[in-house]
Chains A and B, each alone.
Chain A
Amino acid sequence: GENVEQHPSTLSVQEGDSAVIKCTYSDSASNYFPWYKQELGKGPQLIIDIRSNVGEKKDQRIAVTLNKTAKHFSLHITETQPEDSAVYFCAASRGSARQLTFGSGTQLTVLP
């Protein structure tokens, strides 16, 4: 089955700096890669996703890049703000199966 590895497990940045979280996946058939944000005491919420036919996708301060050859994808957050502090999860899926395999999560702390 699919295996998703996520790094780093914790990340602290100064407010206004950029943050990068990286994930690798094992199943070359995976074609859908979402990122979820989980705030304390809440369920995860989708923040951005990318499909395998696209190399990069941006949404305001958030961007995701995908390298299919190397089987890795990354989340980039620019101009970080305190409200970006949360746990971020990457995931991978063979879209037709509609099941997600999650990475282990990254605790992002934005220091004021």
Chain B
Amino acid sequence: NAGVTQTPKFQVLKTGQSMTLQCAQDMNHNSMYWYRQDPGMGLRLIYYSASEGTTDKGEVPNGYNVSRLNKREFSLRLESAAPSQTSVYFCASLTSGVSYEQYFGPGTRLTVT
């Protein structure tokens, strides 16, 4: 099993450009998450999807949109990138059942100039 995969690993955008970050998991998990990680601020939840077909806002959703394409894939879109969106983005999925362990992908380092 590959676990949680993310593409791309690195990306540089200019202000105003758009892009989509891709995430896929092969563990048959229902819930998936997008976080951003900034120095000294831990991980902050952008959006999550409790199950296929549903999405909800997290702590910092402004400037982002998401799509839960199917059970495996959960994408994050920046429609008009801003320098404040420079960050490392992590996707995660949640084990089903009574455990609450989240499995994280390797991250995407995004720089907006």
Query: Which residues of A pack against B, CB within 8 Å?
Result: 1, 4, 6, 9, 32, 34, 36, 41-46, 49, 89, 93, 95, 98-105
Residue of A1, A4, A100, A103 touching B102 (CB-CB under 8 A):
A100
- Contact A102-B42, Cβ < 8 Å, known A34-B100, A43-B107, A44-B90: yes
Known: A6-B42, A46-B101. 9 other contacts (CB 8 A): A1-B59, A41-B107, A42-B106, A43-B92, A43-B106, A49-B100, A95-B100, A98-B31, A104-B41
Mask: chain B, 38-69; 1 = CB below 8 Å from A; 0 = not:
00111111001010000000110000000000
Chain B contacts for A6, CB-based, 8 A: 42
Verify if B94 is at the interface (C-beta below 8 Å from A).
yes
Verify if B4 is at the interface (C-beta below 8 Å from A).
yes
Q: List 16 A-B pairs, Cβ < 8 Å.
A: A4-B42, A9-B40, A34-B100, A42-B106, A43-B107, A44-B90, A44-B104, A46-B101, A46-B102, A89-B42, A98-B94, A98-B100, A99-B58, A100-B43, A102-B44, A103-B42
Number of A-B contacts (CB under 8 A): 53
How far does the Cβ of A60 sit from chain B's closest Cβ, in whole Å? 18
Chain A contacts for B50, CB-based, 8 A: 98
How far does the Cβ of B89 sit from chain A's closest Cβ, in whole Å? 10
